[in-house]
Amino acid sequence: DGKYMVTLIEGDGIGPEISQSVKDIFTAADVPIKWESVDVTPRLIDGKTSIPQEAIDSVTRNSVALKGPLATPIGKGHVSLNLTLRRTFNLFANVRPCKSIAGYKTPYNNVDLSLIRENTEGEYSGIEHVVVDGVVQSIKLITRAASERVLRFAFQYAQDIGKPKVRAVHKATIMKMSDGLFLSIAREVSKDFPNVEFDAELLDNACLKIVSDPTPYNDKVLVMPNLYGDILSDMCAGLIGGLGLTPSGNIGDECSIFEAVHGSAPDIAGKGLANPTALLLSSIMMLQHMGVTQHADRIREAIFKTLAEGRTITGDLGGKAKTAEYAEAVIKNL
C-alpha cells in the first residue's frame, strides 16, 4: 500500500509515552509509514541472554528503526542494551546534530553543530579485566577498519550536508598510538575528499572553545572516537537546552536506528510529563534518511512553532503542558 515499514522500539520508562506522541503526530501528518513494534528485552535462550530474534529480524527486514530510551544498569556486569543494538547491527557511525531551537532561549541562539561519533569500539569495546587485586585494565580498542569507516562516513556526510570542513577531535598527544592511528587515517581519508577541508583539534581545547563560543564550529563536521563523542555530544546538547531537544542516528551499511540520547527518566515515567521532542526530532532525521523529506519538514516546522509559541511546552522547558497536550499542539501547527 505504498507505505514503508519501520521498526519501533518504544523502550523503558518514558519510552512508551514519547513513542505515542510520535505515532499520533505521524498519523496526523499522514506520514507514509507503518510501525512494527518490537520488544528488545533480552531473553534467556540456551543459557545465554540475547535480544529476541523477532526484534533482530524486524530491524533487518525494515532496515530502519526508531528507538526510545532503554534503561542501562550501572556496573551490573552485563552490557547495555543500547550498545548491544549498535553492535548487533554494526551501526558504525553515530550522527549527533546539535542545533538551536528557534524560540527556545539559551545563551547562544545560533548553535548548529554536527558531531559524528565512532560507534563500535574505543573504550566501549567492553574489554576489561582485573590484572591483580586493586589493578584493573579497560582496553581502548582502536582499529583501522572501524576508524576508516567512520571517517569516510564523516567526509561524505560533510559533503552531503554542505559543510565541507571536517575536523578530527582527538588526544593523540597522550594516546599516541590509538588516537595517533585515528588521526593518521583521518589524514589519509581526507586525500580522497579534495573538496572537503580537513584539520584536527585536541579534545580538551575543543571543549573549552565550544563552551566559550560554539559559533566558529557551525561550519564544520566534528568526527571523533567513541567516548569523546559520547561526552562532547552531551556537552553540546547543554548549549541548546539539553538532551530533551537533541536527536541522533546510529548509521550502518545495512540498517540504521534513530534514537533520543536521553535516558528513560524513571522518576517521571507513566505520569505523562515527558518531553517527546528529542524522539520526534530523531524521527525527523529518520524520515530524511528515508527520503521522506516533505513530511519531515512539515513536522519539524510544527514542532519549532509549538516550542516558539511557548504556551504548550513540557516541564523540563519551563512549561506546564503534559506530553499529550504538547503533541496536540504540534498537530494543530502541522
**Contacting positions for Mn ion (CB under 5 A):** 230
Q: Which does 288 bind (CB under 5 to 8 A by kind): ligand IPM, Mn ion, none?
A: none
Select from 123, 230, 316, 328 the one that contacts ligand IPM (CB under 6 A): 230
Is there binding between residue 82 and ligand IPM (CB under 6 A)? yes
> What gap in Å lies between CA 71 and CA 96, rounded to an integer?
20
Select from 28, 56, 83, 235 the one that contacts ligand IPM (CB under 6 A): 83
Is there binding between residue 264 and ligand IPM (CB under 6 A)? no
In the complex, the smallest distance separating the C-beta of residue 72 from ligand IPM, rounded to whole angstroms, is 5
> What gap in Å lies between CA 285 and CA 131, rounded to an integer?
44
Nearer to Mn ion, 230 or 328 (CB): 230
Write down the H helix ranges in the chain.
Answer: 15-28, 53-62, 81-88, 144-160, 178-190, 203-212, 226-240, 277-290, 293-309, 323-332
DSSP 146-209: HHHHHHHHHHHHHHHTT--EEEEEE-TTTSTTHHHHHHHHHHHHHTT-TTSEEEEEEHHHHHHH
Give me the amino acid identity at 297: D
Is there binding between residue 121 and ligand IPM (CB under 6 A)? no
Strand pairing report for 256-259 and 249-251:
antiparallel
Give whole-number Cα distances, 199 to 5, 25, 123, in Å: 40, 41, 24
Strand pairing report for 64-67 and 256-259:
parallel
Is there binding between residue 66 and ligand IPM (CB under 6 A)? no
Q: Which does 80 bind (CB under 5 to 8 A by kind): ligand IPM, Mn ion, none?
A: ligand IPM
Select from 20, 50, 72, 106 the one that contacts ligand IPM (CB under 6 A): 72
Select from 22, 232, 239, 261 the one that contacts ligand IPM (CB under 6 A): 261
> What gap in Å lies between CA 287 and CA 297, rounded to an integer?
9
Q: Which does 82 bind (CB under 5 to 8 A by kind): ligand IPM, Mn ion, none?
A: ligand IPM
Q: Which residue of this chain has its Cβ atom nearest to ligand IPM in the complex?
A: 80
Q: Which does 72 bind (CB under 5 to 8 A by kind): ligand IPM, Mn ion, none?
A: ligand IPM
Nearer to ligand IPM, 179 or 230 (CB): 230
Nearer to Mn ion, 123 or 230 (CB): 230
> What gap in Å lies between CA 16 and CA 13, rounded to an integer?
7
Is there binding between residue 159 and ligand IPM (CB under 6 A)? no
Q: 67 with 86: CB under 8 angstroms?
A: no
Nearer to ligand IPM, 142 or 261 (CB): 261
Residues that bind ligand IPM (CB under 6 A): 72, 80, 82-83, 230, 261
